[in-house]
Structures are given as C-alpha cells and as structure tokens.
A = this chain, B = another copy of it.
Amino acid sequence: MKTRRKSPVNLTTTDQHYCSIDLRLKILGRLPFFEGLPQNAVNSINQRFNSIGYKSGEYVYYAGDIAERLYVVAEGKIKLFQHGTNGRNVLLDILSEGDFFGNLTVLGTFSYPDTTQALTPACVLTIQSEGFGKILDEYPSLAIKTIQVMEKRLIAANNQVFKISSFTVEKRIAYTLLELGKKLGVQNENSLLIDAPISREDLAEMTAATPETVSRVMKQFQNNGLIDTGRLWVSIKNLEELSKLTEFE
C-alpha cells in the first residue's frame, strides 16, 4: 500500500503576496461577510480597510499585543492558537477567506487572547476596531450579520469543548479531520483533499493529543482505507466510514 507521494496541496499561489489594491477591492465585495450591502457601501467600507500580505509562517499578531484592530482574511489560511506552557500550543481554528479575527469592537483596552499566524501565503484586510465600530453604526444590517457569524463560532467552540471533553483520541481525530474536510475540503477524483498544509503536530494541537499519537491513529485510518496521507497533507477517502467513527460509543 504505497500511498506516499508529492503533496497534492496547492502551495504555490502567486509569489507576489502582498495583495494588490485593485484585487482587494474585488475581494471585499465578494466576501460573504459583506454580501447584501449596496455597492456604494462596499466601496465606502473598502476605502477604510488596509491590506497586508503575509508569507507562510509570518505572524499577524501575538497573544498579549494590544487589541486594536479587526482583520478579515481575503486569501489564504490563518492559524489561530494559544501558546501552551512547554511549547505545545492549542490550535483553536484555521480561518480562510471571509473569516474575521482580532478585535471587533472597542471595549476598553485589552490584549488579544490568542496568536495568529499565516499557515499559507495570505492576504488580510484590516481596520482599526474603532473604525469598524463606526461602520457598524452606519450599517446595522452588518451588525446583525456579525452576530450571526459569532453565534456560529460560539457553537463551534462549544462543540470543540464537548469533543475534547468526551471523545477518545481516535474519535477526536476523526471528528477534526471531518471538520477540516468541511471547511477546507476540495473534491478530487475520488477523495476529499484538505487544502492546507496540515502537519501531525497541527492535528495534535487541535485534538489535545501528541504528534506521535496522531501519527499512530492516522496510520490506522490509512490502513483501513479511510484516509490517504503524507507529509503535510491529508485526504479523506471514505467519508462515510470516517463519520461512523465519531458517532456512537
């Protein structure tokens, strides 16, 4: 069963990876977050955002920095995590196009509770929290949209707590792979490729496990034909069977 091969994950986006001005205007308008707004509103909002490009591995901000900006992912993937005690971190989320992070509103000075890092080359739009507050005042429908997105994220975070609290490692890993498939999956021939360079360590940090254990469990999944995997990539071959693993006791 030789399945190891070159990573099928697309890593080579255009090298010029600070987002060009005209590109970002188009992107902003298409973001699900701003959909439904009239075009002139989008233009107006767009003018108040700046864009920044990040190379893979670069940090957007660190936990503890003063939280005064809101960010929106325009392109690429951003890791959101908290630093663990010894050097083992906890990976809370992987954000992609249209997701926001950072500090939404002005509620006194406080610090970011987490660190954000580009997992792939990425383009990020950003605005001062204060400025975003003004936008919310101007476009109340955006505030409601924001609430809806946060509602979903809170539910997801609670599910995460649930998962880690009551699943075995095997179930946690299966569940996490399925989540990643839903969020970052790209359908290839006969398998669902997770379109981001996810390492064993990343998975360990998402599942409250160790890289070694993740490796062992994934090997087993691979032997059972549930997934296909290699260095920095995973692909789900049998989604149904993998789902079954997360179901019953």
| Chain A residues engaging chain B, CB cutoff 8 angstroms | 82, 84-86, 88, 90, 92, 103-105, 107, 113-114, 133, 136-137, 140, 143-144, 146-148, 150-155, 157-162, 164-166, 205, 208, 248-249
Contacts and interface: CB of A to CB of B under 8 A. Distances in A.
A186 B150 CA distance: 31
A168 B52 CA distance: 39
A249 B104 CA distance: 32
25 contacts: A82-B158, A84-B165, A85-B166, A86-B249, A88-B166, A90-B161, A90-B162, A90-B165, A92-B161, A92-B162, A103-B151, A104-B148, A105-B148, A105-B151, A107-B151, A107-B152, A113-B159, A133-B144, A137-B144, A146-B147, A147-B150, A150-B150, A164-B165, A164-B208, A166-B208
A161 B161 contact: yes
Contact of A158 (B85, B92, B150, B151): B92
A94 to B, nearest CB: 14
Given A148-B105, A154-B153, A208 B165 contact: yes
Q: In this complex, which of A88, A162, A248 has the most chain B Cβ atoms within 10 angstroms of its Cβ?
A: A162
Contact of A154 (B148, B150, B208): B150
A147 B84 contact: no
Q: Which 10 A-B pairs have the closest CB atoms?
A: A157-B157, A165-B208, A143-B143, A85-B249, A140-B140, A150-B150, A90-B165, A84-B166, A82-B162, A90-B162
